[in-house]
């Protein structure tokens, strides 16, 4: 399904293009207030990513406790040749939630894509990163696309025609979706890459509880700052007055649901103003900010099959902490 939103090219240069599909489709006020007025309060994880949040996330990826990023990077480095053999050269590479495009850099020289489409919701960060990437890879055609990948994806119309499309979704971001949403997302990717397409996706695996716990409760408190920054972001979006000093970070592994849960807990009874509305938080009341589901490889392959993808290859580390799946359209 195509979004009704028309492509809006912000600025175009020779081989470097920017699009904003996001601003017109989202009704942030309604989404945020609905989440914060219900009994089990929640804020969508996408609000982590203002410019500060994107930078904090980069800091998290360098923490000793945070194994996913370094494990996934070592898998990409180790299996680069095999990935190249599967993808072939000259594809259209589409990255969902590209952030700093760190991981794709490891593959660009080998894959020589016809075009690279980094897609992210954090517009300024996305556009800055695209400019930097172009400096490092002057031959690369880049279509930086600001969108919310929870909505049906819209690809820029001016992408070169007739090339194989390969999606890339590292960082186990699929784990942030509830299972039904994850299935819909995968179906959407299947539609976007088409019958000849493929999808390289990194997923975090079920493992020892302590390893998981430590990854979301680092000693330096960077993850706590990242979690709390979501309130500062809401303050900017909705002229709010959240005081982050009055909330605490709380993250744990929910074994029954196979997911890490990140919460913010109100330390006191308080009233916060947001979008000119009064929001009441009781002492010890929780706001859910993120779920991060962890997967079992065989179950993930079954899941991908339901979305129209066959799992052709799984690359994993020796501790079985993380896995890269090569999925092909069926």
Ligand X SMILES: C[S@@+](CC[C@H](N)C(=O)[O-])C[C@H]1O[C@@H](n2cnc3c(N)ncnc32)[C@H](O)[C@@H]1O
Q: For binding to ligand X (CB under 6 A), which residues are involved?
A: 46, 49, 54, 57, 97-99, 102-103, 120-122, 148-150, 170-171, 173
The least CB distance from residue 159 to ligand X, in Å, is: 18
148 vs 267, beta carbon nearer ligand X = 148
The CA distances from residue 89 to 15, 114, 198, 260, in Å, are: 18, 8, 13, 37
- Closest CB 12 distance from ligand X, rounded Å: 21
Residue least distant from ligand X (Cβ)? 97
Q: Quick check: 108 and 139 in contact, CB under 8 A?
A: no
Least distance from ligand X to the Cβ atom of residue 58, Å:
8
The residues near 20 (Cβ < 8 Å, ≥ 6 apart) are 8, 10, 123, 146
What residues have CB less than 8 Å from 183, skipping those under 6 apart?
Answer: 303, 306, 307
Please identify, using beta-carbon distances, which residue of 46 and 190 lies nearer to ligand X. Answer: 46
Structure tokens at 216: 């979301």
Rounded distance between C-alpha atoms, residue 166 and residue 161, angstroms? 14
What is the closest distance, in whole angstroms, from the C-beta atom of residue 227 to ligand X in the complex? 13
Give the burial class of 301: count Cβ atoms within 10 A of its Cβ; 0-12 exposed, 13-18 middle, 19 or more buried: middle
Among residues 96 and 303, whose Cβ is nearest to ligand X?
96
Least distance between ligand X and beta carbon 258 (Å): 19
- The helix or strand, by DSSP H or E, that contains position 311, with its residue range, turns out to be strand 309-316
Nearer to ligand X, 30 or 283 (CB): 30
Residue 49 or 67 with smaller CB distance to ligand X: 49
């Amino acid at each position: 399904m195509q979004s009704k939103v028309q492509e809006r090219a912000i600025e175009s240069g020779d081989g470097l293009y920017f699009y904003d599909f996001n601003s017109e489709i989202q009704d942030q006020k309604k989404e945020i207030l609905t989440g914060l007025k219900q009994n089990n309060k929640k804020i969508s994880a996408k609000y982590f990513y203002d410019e500060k949040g994107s930078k904090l996330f980069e800091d998290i990826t360098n923490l000793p406790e945070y194994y996913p990023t370094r494990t996934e990077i070592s898998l990409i480095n180790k299996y680069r040749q095999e990935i190249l053999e599967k993808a072939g050269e000259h594809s259209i590479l589409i990255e969902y939630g590209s952030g700093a495009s760190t991981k794709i850099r490891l593959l660009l020289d080998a894959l020589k894509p016809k075009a690279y489409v980094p897609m992210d919701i954090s517009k300024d960060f996305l556009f800055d990163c695209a400019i930097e990437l172009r400096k490092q890879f002057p031959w690369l055609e880049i279509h930086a696309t600001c969108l919310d990948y929870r909505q049906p994806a819209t690809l820029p119309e001016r992408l070169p025609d007739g090339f194989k499309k390969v999606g890339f979704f590292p960082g186990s971001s699929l784990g942030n979706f509830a299972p039904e949403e994850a299935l819909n997302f995968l179906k959407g990717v299947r539609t976007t890459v088409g019958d000849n397409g493929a999808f390289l996706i990194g997923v975090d695996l079920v493992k020892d509880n302590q390893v998981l716990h430590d990854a979301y409760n680092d000693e330096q408190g960077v993850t706590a700052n990242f979690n709390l920054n979501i309130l500062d972001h809401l303050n900017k979006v909705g002229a709010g007055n959240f005081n982050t000093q009055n909330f605490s970070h709380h993250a744990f592994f929910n074994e029954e649901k196979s997911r890490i849960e990140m919460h913010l807990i109100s330390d006191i009874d308080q009233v916060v103003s947001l979008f000119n509305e009064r929001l009441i938080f009781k002492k010890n009341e929780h706001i859910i900010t993120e779920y991060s589901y962890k997967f079992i490889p065989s179950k993930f392959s079954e899941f991908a099959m339901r979305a129209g993808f066959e799992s052709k290859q799984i690359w994993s580390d020796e501790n079985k902490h993380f896995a890269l799946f090569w999925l092909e359209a069926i």
